Amino acid sequence: MSGSARIPNILVIGTGDTKSEELLFMADVIGKAGGLPVMIDVSVLGDPPYMSDYSRLDIAASAGTTIEAIIDSGDENSAMALMAKGTAALVERLHAAGEVDGLIVLGGSMGTDLALDAAAALPLGVPKFIISTIAYSHLLPPERIAPDLMMILWAGGLYGLNPICRAVLSQACGAVVGAAKASIRPGGERPLIGMTSLGSSCLKYMKILKPELEKRGYDVAVFHATGMGGRAYEAIAGQKGFAAVFDLCLQEVTNHHNGSVVTSGPDRMENAGRAGIPQIVAPGAVDMVDLQAWQTLPPHFADRPYHAHNRLIGSVTTSPEGRREVARVVAAKLASASSPVALILPSRGVQEWDQDGEPLHEPEALEAFLDEMRKVVPATVEFEEVGAHINAPEFSARALEIFDRWVASGVVPRGRP
């Protein structure tokens, strides 16, 4: 709808049989803010005391079943899973018909479970907002969170309206209408390159690669690989949103393997290969596990070198054997790719703090990773070792050489001025 003066359609989703007061309040706020509320009822057991635009019967039909079958499916978990399936299908269909400019969902844990599926049915750039009693909770798997999802805690609103609840709901409704009016959808004439990295104090290659790729006629999106950044990268890759990727920071793979909450989910490093997107890969920061700096280190990491990046996040290094394990995990993910893959192995180090004199310098552990990686790299992967640190210009130059060769051979589409 960007650039249009028409009233944006905002899907308002919730269980109208139990939360009609809240949902009608939201519809009123959306209307006064300049949006058109489209009411979608995801109740299971009863109808709301208002006429919804899409009823629970419509949701059941979108799931390929009936509301009676959903009620008899077993328990509340199975019933809501079927309603989530139907809601996502309906949202996707409405978007394809050009009838969705934004989405807002209200719910507790049950409603949030459904809301995540509904939001994931919409592409990047369509505003999506969840009002939830478990907003920002570690109960939410990162792989289920849409890359541009907005959330707000449903403070004091579990049962009925009150001044706190009205304040939260009105903020959320105003936000989604404003976003729908102002949203600029992604797109452009230049092919998009996805790149993973950390802050420039740890990994610096994007300072060289981004301007060079832009000179070649590409747009470049750099994703901060601290859990949700990698999730956004994977979601867009899964939608075939990149012409090629420079997946040069694999720390989230190490994090997930070691049980850190700073995770992008189990499918990190898999969606680009599954979508047929050419990949240039390197093990940036693969030696580190990120942890909450405000918590005590887990006992099994207590004797490992540690670097506090700020008051939120700190990093420990993995042991030599732990690095060999991660090398095997990386190799397995590369082997599953259906697209061309090049792996660049920088033998002098994989992040800023692993160099001589820095707090995470462990040359024997680095060599363990390099040795294992050389042994397990799949035969289907183009493999190049660079006698330089990942932050050295030589590394970036090698990555660009591979990319330019792929462009010349047609593996990657040519850029546009």
- Does the structure show a pLDDT above 60 at 247? yes
pLDDT value at position 188?
76
Q: Under a CB-based contact definition with an 8 Å cutoff, are residues 135 and 152 in contact? A: yes
Give which of 21, 43, 25, 44 is closest to 33, Cα–Cα: 25
- Does the structure show a pLDDT above 70 at 204? yes
Give which of 399, 358, 394 is closest to 382, Cα–Cα: 399
Phi-psi domain of 98 (left: phi exceeds 0; alpha: psi -120 through 50; beta: other): left
- What average pLDDT does this structure show over 176-200? 91
pLDDT value at position 157?
81
- What average pLDDT does this structure show over 231-236? 92
The Cα 213–Cα 368 span in angstroms is 33
- Fold annotation for 9-182: Rossmann fold (3.40.50)
The confidence band for 203, taking pLDDT boundaries of 50, 70 and 90, is very high
Q: What's the DSSP call for residue 52? A: -
- What average pLDDT does this structure show over 359-380? 96
- What average pLDDT does this structure show over 5-12? 91
- Does the structure show a pLDDT above 90 at 158? no
- Does the structure show a pLDDT above 70 at 2? no
pLDDT value at position 98?
96
- Does the structure show a pLDDT above 80 at 61? yes
The confidence band for 1, taking pLDDT boundaries of 50, 70 and 90, is very low
pLDDT in tens, 119-146: 999 998 999 999 999 998 889 988 899 9
The Cα 303–Cα 71 span in angstroms is 53
Structure tokens at 373: 């990686």
pLDDT value at position 5?
66
pLDDT in tens, 14-53: 999 999 999 999 999 999 999 999 999 999 999 999 999 9
- Does the structure show a pLDDT above 80 at 191? yes
Give which of 290, 247, 255 is closest to 271, Cα–Cα: 247
Alpha-carbon distances, residue 233 vs 120, 236, 383 (angstroms): 14, 5, 23
- What average pLDDT does this structure show over 213-225? 97
Does 160 or 154 have the greater pLDDT score? 154
The Cα 193–Cα 211 span in angstroms is 12
- Does the structure show a pLDDT above 60 at 4? no
pLDDT value at position 199?
83
Neighbouring residues of 311: CB distance < 8 A, sequence distance ≥ 6: 293, 294
Token pair 């299908």 is found at 89
The Cα 36–Cα 176 span in angstroms is 11
CATH code: domain 192-409 is 3.40.50.12030
> Is 192-409 the same fold as 9-182?
yes
Q: How high does pLDDT run on average in the chain?
A: 94
State the burial class of residue 7 (Cβ atoms within 10 Å of its Cβ: 0-12, 13-18, 19+). Answer: middle
Q: Under a CB-based contact definition with an 8 Å cutoff, are residues 395 and 351 in contact? A: no
Strands 244-249 and 192-197: parallel
pLDDT in tens, 265-310: 999 999 999 999 999 999 999 999 999 889 888 898 888 988 888 8
Domain range annotation of the chain: 9-182, 192-409
